[in-house]
Homo-oligomer: A and B are copies of this chain.
Amino acid sequence: MTGVKHQKWWGWGVEGIGFSPEGKPNFAPFVRKQIGLDISEPGTPPKFEDLDVPAPVIAADLHDRLLGIVGERFLLEDDLDRIVHTFGKGVRDLIRIRRGDLRRVVDVVVYPADEAQVQRVVDTCVEADAVLIPFGGGSNIVGALEPEPTERRTVVSVDLGRMTKVLEIDDESGLARIQAGALGPQIEEQLGRRGWTMGHFPDSFTHSTLGGWIATRSTGMQSDKYGDIADIVKGLRAVRQGEVLALRPLPSTSSGPSVREMILGSEGRLGIITEAWVNVHRVPEVREIVGYFFPDFSSGLRAMKAIDDSDAHVTVSRVSDAPETQFSFATQKAQRGVQKIVMNGLFGYLKRRGWDTDQICLSYVGFEGGRRYVKQNQAIVKEIVKAHGGIVVGTGVGAVYDSKKFQVPYIRDFLLDRGATADVSETTTPWSNLQNLYDTTIEAVTQAFQKAQTQGFVMCHFAHSYHSGACLYFTFAIPDSDPDSTYRNYDLVKRAIQQNFMDTGATVSHHHGVGSEHSPWLAEDISPAGTHLQRVLLDGADPGHHFNPGKILHDGKPGVAVHSYDAPLPGGVPGTPVD
């Protein structure tokens, strides 16, 4: 065995861990009310033996040469490993796997030990006219990992799972050199032992890697303080055919069009990232997440803007709309004793104050630093919350958020097991457009539900505050027992959301990347001249199309958006974009 552990082939996280509604008495009624689904029946997870996995396509010569580089233990070609390395964890991936709709499965998986082996793998594969797809935690949800359906060449998945070390910490500069295959917990554990943190905690944290964060332009929940991964990465190395791109750690530079920013978001198309220099910070004296309630979403949004305008410095700023707040309550364990009395008392108090408790919006704000500094910032935020009609709920709720933050994807698998589909779309826009973006997206989704004649559910939260705007993160769910219509209805809703982002001046994605899922809208986002420049770069840097071909840009004419969701899948079902 390689010693590298990956997620379930059919869903999120590792085998043995999943969502359970037990002890959460509000969950089943909530699901029944929102999407009319009865979750009392046991679910039916897929069985691997039901899959018909195509045989690998690889010449004996290439096989032997790869074996010569990584050794027998680190070249895998069994069906399970090939399936795990073919898909990310987008809902489209999961539906496809459950339907046995596999298409082009990667042929072989190699686990290089170090950058030198990556270089040999790359050079060998390019020479043999094979395709290389780098693989980190496999948590991608925009279709960036799957080979093109029509690919005839050998597809090699290059798993960075053996390259997980923090190689060096520059204590004086607050910089660490870390291998690209390191998962979030592996990074924080190694840094934490020496009193450091990277401060990058995306929702996928437990199952995503540094290399993946860079390749997709990831953002963590504490971005208000630590920045996006694009701000955190100061230098990097990436293996290309016959050369290593080596960018030294620099706080800032004016050395022409930024090559660092070309690799960020390149999704494997410009080479394989092997390591990066990242900003690291001393673990702060105090770290607190405080919970707040607002009487409605608009008040919450305005309060978050006021915090950004103030002299306060926060690490997290987040508000859920009313449906997401109710979802949070529904997934909580039953409260007992004092806690129950306090919460009931609080709701009673708010009702007497005239709040519509169905409209309550839960908010979290994070604080870090010295004790006095945290206190000062909390005082400023408290005043702002009060001025916007909100109340402080306290650090208890914050701690619950902190402990649950990585659990949500498991709920999606629980629902898929029971015939419901859930997915997400997130974006950013300037502050002045946030309310409009929210209203129009909810309206677009509601119309899509009607068109699909399904009882869907949509919820949203605000997060990631920047000087000029912020992120809105939508989650929706639809019930359907018929796999084909689920798929079609899912498409309808997803497309409605993405198209509304374009129509209202928001971006295709704030931190999930483009992959094949979002590429149909890219030219509308950055203009056809923008995708033209990307194409010039990506095609020019990889004229033989060996590096994860087909991602980010469709292979249509330069700069033309191909809304290929309309293209029929094999079997006549509208489906994923086909390049």
A: residues with CB less than 8 A from B are 170-175, 216-219, 228, 230, 234, 238, 240, 243-259, 261-267, 270, 279, 281-282, 305, 309, 311, 313, 369-370, 372-373, 376, 428-433, 464, 466-471, 505-514, 518, 522, 525-530, 532-534, 536-541, 552-553
Contact = CB atoms under 8 A, between A and B. Distances in A.
Given A246-B529, A431-B173, A252 B534 contact: no
B529 A173 contact: no
A206 to B, nearest CB: 20
A538 B228 CA distance: 27
A243 B528 contact: yes
A288 to B, nearest CB: 15
Contact of A537 (B250, B257, B507): B257
Given A254-B217, A265-B254, A369 B311 contact: yes
Contacts of A279: 467-468
Nearest to A471: B252
A259 B534 contact: yes
B469 A250 contact: yes
Contact of A257 (B266, B430, B464): B266
A257 B511 CA distance: 13
B247 A431 contact: no
Given A248-B507, A254-B514, A257-B265, 5 more contacts: A243-B528, A251-B470, A257-B263, A257-B552, A536-B536
Contacts of A251: 428-430, 466-471
Going nearest first, the 6 A-B pairs with the smallest beta carbon separation are A261-B261, A251-B466, A536-B540, A217-B254, A251-B469, A173-B430
Contacts of A259: 526, 530, 533-534
A223 to B, nearest CB: 8
Contacts of A244: 527, 529
A243 B311 contact: no
Contacts of A270: 257, 533
Contact of A245 (B170, B217, B376, B530): B530
Contacts of A369: 311
25 contacts: A172-B305, A172-B430, A174-B468, A175-B430, A216-B254, A234-B468, A240-B529, A243-B529, A247-B530, A248-B507, A249-B468, A250-B469, A251-B467, A251-B470, A252-B428, A252-B510, A254-B510, A254-B514, A255-B518, A256-B553, A257-B552, A262-B533, A279-B468, A313-B313, A537-B537
A432 B505 contact: no
Contacts of A514: 254-256
A270 B513 CA distance: 24
B257 A534 contact: yes
A197 to B, nearest CB: 13
A315 B251 CA distance: 17
Contacts of A228: 252
A261 B261 CA distance: 6
A267 B432 CA distance: 32
A565 B566 CA distance: 58
Nearest to A263: B257
Nearest to A464: B252
B430 A525 contact: no
Nearest to A249: B430
For A172, A254, A430, A541, which residue has the most chain B Cβ atoms within 10 angstroms?
A254
A203 B577 CA distance: 50
Given A258-B265, A507-B253, A527-B247, A174 B431 contact: yes
A227 to B, nearest CB: 9
A451 to B, nearest CB: 28
Given A431-B174, A467-B279, A529-B240, A255 B522 contact: yes
A282 to B, nearest CB: 8
A312 B410 CA distance: 41
A467 to B, nearest CB: 5
A527 B230 CA distance: 20
A153 B262 CA distance: 32
A525 B61 CA distance: 38
A381 to B, nearest CB: 14
A219 B507 CA distance: 27
A514 B253 CA distance: 10
Contacts of A372: 311
Nearest to A530: B259
